[in-house]
Structure formats: C-alpha cells, structure tokens
Amino acid sequence: MAEKIVILTGAGISAESGLGTFRDADGLWSQVRIEDVATPEAFARDPARVHAFYNMRRAAAAAAAPNPAHHALARLQRDHPGEVVIVTQNVDDLHGRAGAEVLHMHGALARALCASCGETWAAPPEMAPGDPCPACERPATRPDVVWFGEMPHRLDDIADHLAACSLFAAIGTSGAVYPAAGFVREARAAGADTVELNLGASDVSPLFHRRLTGPASRVVPDWVD
Ligand code: BV8
C-alpha cells in the first residue's frame, strides 16, 4: 500500500533558522500578549500595533534561511511523490523556500488579505493601517494570517489526509494550539503510526507511539534519511 505520511510542523522547526518560537522561555508570547497582537479584536483596537508585530516577523522571516530540517522534508516529499503531505502552523515561508509543497493552515506572513472583499496578494515588506486593497480599493487590508478565534485554513482537506494516513509526524510543536494539537488523535483513530520530533516534551507527547528528541536540524534529517 502506498504510504501516506502527514507531517505537522510548528515554530520549533524554524527555531534554528533564527525565528522565535512562541512558548519557549524567550518566546514571542513572553514578549507580547496574544490578546494584543494575534486576535481580530486586537486588530480592530490597534491595527498599527498589530501591523508592527507582523512587519517585524515578516522582516525576520525574509532574513532567515531554511535549515537542514526544512531541506530534509522537501527531499522526503520529492523522493516520495504524492505520498507526503506537509501541514504547517508556521506563517514563515521557509518550507516553500526549501522547495516543499506545504499547506499553511494558519496563513502566511508573505500574503496580505482584504477584510472587505477577501482578495489576497503578496504582502509588501511593511504594511500599515488603511493600505488600500488592490482589488476593491477599500482601506481594509490585514496580514493573511489566522488569528485566535478565526477558522484555520483547509481543515477538511487536512481531515481527509489524516483519515488516510499510515504515518503521522509532528515536528517542533508544543501541542498547545487547537485544532492542530488534536491531529495526532485523528491519525491514531485512522490506525496510523505516530512519531513526535521535538527538542523536549510537548503537551501531547503521551499520545505518540514514538518520540525522537533533539534539535530539528539534526533529528529530522536523521529520521528522513
Ligand atoms: C479556532 C498564526 C474555531 C498567527 C496562530 C479546541 C478546538 C478548537 C479551538 C480551540 C480549542 N481549544 C481552544 C481553542 C481556541 C484556540 C486555541 O487553541 N487556544 C489555545 C491557546 C488554548 N484556537 C484557535 O483560536 C484556532 N481557531 O479555534 O477556530 C474552530 C473551532 C473548532 C474547530 C476548528 C476551528 C486558531 C489558532 C491559530 C492561531 N494562530 N498563528 C501568528 O503566527 O502570529 S497559532 C500560533 O501557535 C502559531 O501558529 C504557532 O505555530 C502555533 C502553535 O505553536 P507552536 O508552533 O507549537 O510553537 P510553540 O512556541 O508553542 O512551541 C514550539 C515547540 O518547538 C516546543 O515544543 C519546543 O520544544 C519545540 N522546539 C523549540 N526549538 C526546537 C524545537 N523542536 C525542535 N528543534 C528545535 N530547535
């Protein structure tokens, strides 16, 4: 039977590319509060502050480079055409820049969204409140990311992949955010083998059959090769 491998990645896979994680000791959520920068209410209250947060992260992502973990997943996908689905919670573009096809369930820093007409386009390096939408020209542009309380992208497709997978791997994610943190349960219900690759333990580690512990730039290439 052709393998179907579903891989979920989180901020930990980009940590060694120099991008901050969220919940590690020096993580982003220790510097700013989710309620101030990553909810629709925060954007309505202070769009300039939210844009500044994402402008900073967009610049950091542009200055970062994929690390051996990103390249190993792209290699795995290339060597097993049609059998490897990569779903990322990350909004950086490092998987894509490593050559992987990836499903951005929480959106992408590199994209802008019009909250009025739904148009999306390549985001400029700096976004500001009132930037006009290139399609409807209304001043309703925002980062094309999924904030807390908003529906993640492609959940039906992801559910279909999980229901058909024989192997599920979670890489560099704390298992703190749903619905992504629940994917391991869906994979197990489908009878899949499950493996967690992480620097340490996550909130959902007990749900995995196997765990490979260490930095992604080492354990992911070892696992792939
Ligand atoms: C929603 C985009 C309605 C923006 C993000 C149950 C069901 C459904 C929803 C909920 C639920 N319970 C609670 C909720 C609400 C909420 C939620 O989960 N809250 C949490 C805080 C309790 N969820 C939502 O609001 C979601 N939407 O619910 O819609 C709905 C209802 C039902 C069903 C479906 C939908 C929307 C969530 C998306 C929010 N947007 N990001 C942005 O990036 O600014 S989430 C944010 O957290 C990032 O995307 C991030 O990726 C994600 C998860 O964090 P991680 O990636 O895991 O990063 P973290 O820092 O936490 O962990 C890093 C890990 O890496 C650690 O384990 C560490 O050990 C490891 N690591 C570090 N270094 C390395 C390493 N590993 C390897 N190598 C290293 N070198």
The atom number, within ligand 1, closest to the CA of 57 reads 44
Q: Are residues 127 and 199 in the same domain?
A: no
Does the annotation list 10 as a binding residue? yes
* Closest residue by CA, ligand 1 atom 29: 151
20 annotated to bind ligand = yes
23 Cβ below 6 A of ligand 1: yes
Q: In whole angstroms, what is the distance from residue 10 CA to residue 180 CA?
A: 10
Catalytic residue (one of 51, 71, 106, 161): 106
Asked whether residue 122 falls in the same domain as residue 194, the answer is no
Q: H-helix or E-strand containing 184? A: helix 183-189
Give the CATH number for residue 43. Answer: 3.30.1600.10
CB 108 within 8 A of CB 93: yes
Q: Ligand 1 atom 3: the closest Cα is on which residue?
A: 151
Domain boundary among 121, 145, 169: 145
Structure tokens given for 58:
């967009």
177 and 212 housed in the same domain: yes
Q: Supply the range of the domain harboring residue 79.
A: 1-19+66-106+152-225
Residues 2 and 81 in one domain: yes
**Alpha-carbon gap, residue 214 to 18, rounded angstroms:** 17
Ligand 1 centre distance from Cα of residue 35 (Å):
14
Is 165 marked within a binding site? no
Say yes or no: 101 and 159 in one domain. yes
- 53 and 87 in a single domain? The answer is no
| Structural domain count, the chain | 2
Domain containing residue 173: CATH number: 3.40.50.1220
| Rounded Cα distance, 199 and 87, in Å | 19
- 98 and 138 share one domain: no
CA distance 199 to 194: 17
Structural tokens at position 57: 């992260």
pLDDT tens for the chain, residues 1 to 225: 458 999 999 999 999 999 989 988 888 988 999 999 999 999 999 999 999 999 999 999 999 999 999 999 999 999 999 999 999 999 999 999 999 999 999 999 999 999 999 999 999 999 999 999 999 999 999 999 999 999 999 999 999 999 999 999 999 999 999 999 999 999 999 999 999 999 999 999 999 999 999 999 999 999 999
pLDDT for residue 2 = 57
CA-to-CA dists, residue 26 to 3, 15, 22, 45, 109, angstroms: 38, 11, 8, 26, 21
Asked if 106 is an active-site residue, the reply is yes
Same domain (yes/no): 42, 55 = yes
**Are 76 and 8 part of one and the same domain?**
yes
